[in-house]
A = this chain, B = another copy of it.
């Protein structure tokens, strides 16, 4: 497997990913929230870039079973049913529902890899499941959403840990380039715990809006087996799990 890593979605936007399996990571919080939503029984998630697009699509799907979710500056968009805190996505709120979702970086990252052969969503919550699902890919593109065009440490560590899992499975058959090598080294050097990300830019932003609890929620490792997959603009659980 040849694996490339993009530390920001802007880096990925210029790349040709036609023959790649893309794994999108936005630990704080979109990819964690997508995992939470499917784990809570949401039927599907429709990622869109703008809030206007979200409202239009939810209306089209029928507001009785389509929820609007998303944030701007971390806070729930006015008039939306849910924000972007994974803790809001419970069986009570999203069970059986379709969720139209728009976030600042995460949904844009999903759209940026639209040309990929396969698109999976990873977080710490479902890291090993994603590693199993993409282990058969010949070309892998790991796309960190980043934050406002900048490198995010939590996304980079998650990318590095995913590559670490793949390295365990594939050994020398895993080829990485500069960014992948850096991500692997980072993941090996740092210990994943609640404290690791408390100084991260994304965590500081969450602390400011009183949502710091989302950080410890999102750094729980391998608590879900499911792999969200984006197909024809809709995210659902990937079938099977094997690649």
Residues of A within 8 A of B (CB): 5-8, 10-11, 14, 147, 149-153, 156, 177-179, 181-182, 185-186, 188-190, 199-201
A11 near B149 with CB under 8 A, answer: yes
Q: Closest CB of chain B to A191's CB: distance in Å?
A: 11
Q: Which residue of B lies closest to A177 (CB)?
A: B201
Give which listed residue, B14, B189, B190, contacts A149 with CB less than 8 A: B14
In Å, the complex CA distance between A200 and B178 comes to: 6
Bound CA span A188–B190, Å: 11
Known A11-B150, A11-B151, A178-B200; further 19 A-B contacts with Cβ < 8 A: A5-B151, A6-B150, A7-B7, A7-B151, A10-B11, A11-B149, A147-B178, A150-B179, A152-B178, A153-B178, A156-B178, A156-B182, A178-B201, A181-B199, A182-B182, A185-B186, A185-B190, A188-B189, A189-B189
Name which residue of chain B comes closest to A188, CB basis. Answer: B189
User: Looking across the interface, which residue of chain B has its beta carbon closest to that of A148?
Assistant: B14
Give the Cβ gap from A170 to chain B, nearest Cβ, in Å: 17
Residue of B nearest to A8 (CB): B11
- Are A186 and B182 CB-contacts (below 8 A) given A7-B151, A11-B149? yes
The distance from the CB of A159 to the nearest CB of chain B, in whole angstroms, is 11
Q: How far is it, in angstroms, between the C-alpha of A10 and the C-alpha of B84 when the chains are bound?
A: 28
Which partner residue on chain B sits nearest A185 by CB separation? B189
Query: Which residues of B have CB within 8 Å of A5?
Result: 151
5 nearest A-B residue pairs (beta carbon): A153-B178, A151-B179, A189-B189, A185-B189, A178-B201
User: With a CB–CB cut-off of 8 A, which chain B residues contact A188?
Assistant: 189
Q: Bound complex: CA of A149 vs CA of B185, how far in Å?
A: 21
What's the nearest-Cβ distance from chain B to residue A203, in Å? 10
A230 to chain B, nearest CB (A): 24
CB proximity of A135 to chain B, nearest CB, Å: 22
Smallest CB–CB gap between A202 and chain B, Å? Answer: 8
Contacts of A179 in B (CB 8 A): 150-151, 153
Least distance between A140 CB and chain B CB atoms (Å): 16
